[in-house]
Structure 1
Amino acid sequence: MPLASQSSRSHRKPKGEGHSRRGEILAAAERIFVEHGYEGATIRKIADEVGLSSTALYMHFPDKGAILQEICRNAFSVLTAAAASLSTGSAPPEVRLRAMIEAYAQFGFDQPNAYRLIYLTRPVEAREGAQTLSQELGAVVFSAFGALVEETVAAGRMEGDARAIAQSIWAAAHGVVSLMITKPYFPWVERDRLVKTTLDAVFDGLLKP
């Protein structure tokens, strides 16, 4: 019997534990999508990674596109929850605004594979629905962020076009996160220090004394 077949069969898992198995499939697919590209990530590769047959995997997801879209939905649920919790509170709006963009950056570092798939979408992934979901669900997150910028401007703590301010702050955070997770070979300074330095420069330039 070929060695590959022995290995695949030895990792087969018992039936049941549907919710747990679904999570394993999503985690494995995230890694494989990033490592092999969406086109190179076959259902067979994903199934082998979690010790399933391809047929068994199809019981959880009908195709790769459904897996990719579920990854995007799960990722945005985390961001949406963080944005909602920081949208209101007793802290000054500029403090909550800073906390929200820091939470966004932390999400990117905590879930780099999901971040790549939803914010660094390649053409083939876009065709499979990742870009559409990023636009639809991402709009919810960015709307909460934009509303907080408007509140900060209304409170007299920032001055200018709220839309331009929101996009500038997001672009700065996205730049740091995307560069650090896609260019790990660069001799970056300590991550938190780079994020703080970047955001300090942005907020110091935007906040009124």
Structure 2
Amino acid sequence: MTAANPRSNRKPKGEGHSRRGEILAAAERIFVEHGYEGATIRKIADAVGLSSTALYMHFADKGEILQEICREAFARLIEATRDLAETPAPPEVRLRRMIEAYVTFGFDHPNAYRLIYLTRPAEAREGAQTMAQEMGGGLFDSFEAAVAETVRAGRMTGEPTLIAQAIWASAHGVVSLMITKPYFPWAERQALVDTTLDAVFGGLLKS
């Protein structure tokens, strides 16, 4: 019997953009499952049917892969919230929709969310924290601007930065707990999100 070719599952060369996306998707999963230090180039390469040498044609090292995962994740999140920020609606409505989009992103992309918002020391050193500060800072600024507009409209009272951080912390708490503690007997997800945000906005908005 002829021995199976160990590389038979590898795809043809080419399709650079598609291949790059496959590498990022595999690495995102492996970083979460094995930790940054346990995620080797070999593991990532094997997951997409490449040799380690071929993978280096796309990325210089796993630090560059991590930074690209974070950059793409933030880009998706920024795009989702930017359109909502510009939608014609009362400022408090736009603000609520923006934080709901943030929550939805976290649940739709739990691995990316872990890497950009639940960064471990090794990942922080390799650029995840820098990317969070650069792109995440801009994202928070747009959210804070929506809060400031709501305050100017007389719908909230207080310091915009403090209010924005309180709302964000509440949303992050729900997302991070539910994706990292799946064994807990959580209530229905949307009901929990709605109840949390209703309580936060109910305490901040003027009647």
- Between the two proteins, the alignment pairs up a number of residues equal to 205
**Aligned amino acid, residue 187 of structure 1:** P
Report the CA distance shift for 1:8/1:96 in structure 2 as closer, same or farther (over 3 A): farther
1:19-59: CA deviation from partner (whole Å, max 9, x where unpaired):
00000000000000000000000000000000000000000
Aligned counterpart, 2:179: 181
Q: After alignment, is 78-87 or 58-67 more displaced?
A: 78-87
Q: Which residue of 1 aligns with 2:103?
A: 105
CA–CA distance in structure 2, aligned partners of residues 47 and 161 of structure 1:
49
Distance verdict in 2 for CA 1:8–1:149, change over 3 Å: farther
Which residue, 75, 78, 93 being the options, matches 1:77?
75
Task: List alignment gaps of at least 5 residues for structure 2.
Answer: none
Residue type matched to 1:181 in 2? I
| Residues 1:7 and 1:37: Cα distance change in structure 2 (over 3 Å) | farther
Q: 1:82, 1:148 → 2: CA distance?
A: 15
TM-score normalized by structure 2?
0.97
Q: Which amino acid aligns with 1:90?
A: P
Moved beyond 4 Å, runs of 4+: none
Change (3 A) 1:54 1:200: same
Distance 1:20 1:57 in 2: 13
Gaps of 5+ in 1: none
TM-superposed deviation, 1:8: 4.2
1:106 to 1:8, Cα distance in 2 relative to 1, 3 A: farther
RMSD (CA atoms): 1.1
Alpha-carbon distance in structure 2 between the residues aligned to 1:89 and 1:37: 39
The verdict on how the C-alpha distance between 1:166 and 1:15 changes in structure 2, with shifts beyond 3 A counting, is same
